[in-house]
Each structure stands twice: as structure tokens, then as C-alpha cells.
Amino acid sequence: MPDKSGALNRRRYELSFKRQMVAETFSEGATIAAVARRHGLNANLLFN
């Protein structure tokens, strides 16, 4: 839902959470898509 300026609200993630997700992608047999799904995110977010 847009705020008063017309911008959409965005989720903000702690740096520690971001690092945890990236670290999970380096685990043996892990895929970016699986890690993203587990956290309820789109896989494209992990590529950024």
C-alpha cells in the first residue's frame, strides 16, 4: 500500500539476517531458490 509520498512500503532486513541467508546458500547441496523459499523471499533478492 502506498504511503503519503506514493512510495510502496518495503520490508527492511537486519544485516545479520541478510548474512545468514547468504551463508546458507554456500552450504553443501543448498540452492538459492530453496533458501529463499524457506525464508519467504523471491530468489532474485538473494542475487542482489
What pTM does this model have? Answer: 0.69
Count of domains for the chain: 1
- Tell me: pLDDT of 41 over 80: yes
Residue 2 resides in a domain: no
d(CA 34, CA 5): 35
What was the pLDDT predicted at 44?
A: 92
d(CA 29, CA 4): 45
Residue 40 resides in a domain: yes
39: domain range?
Answer: 15-47
Residue 2, SS3 per DSSP: strand
Give the pLDDT band of residue 47 (cuts 50, 70, 90): confident
Residue 7 resides in a domain: no
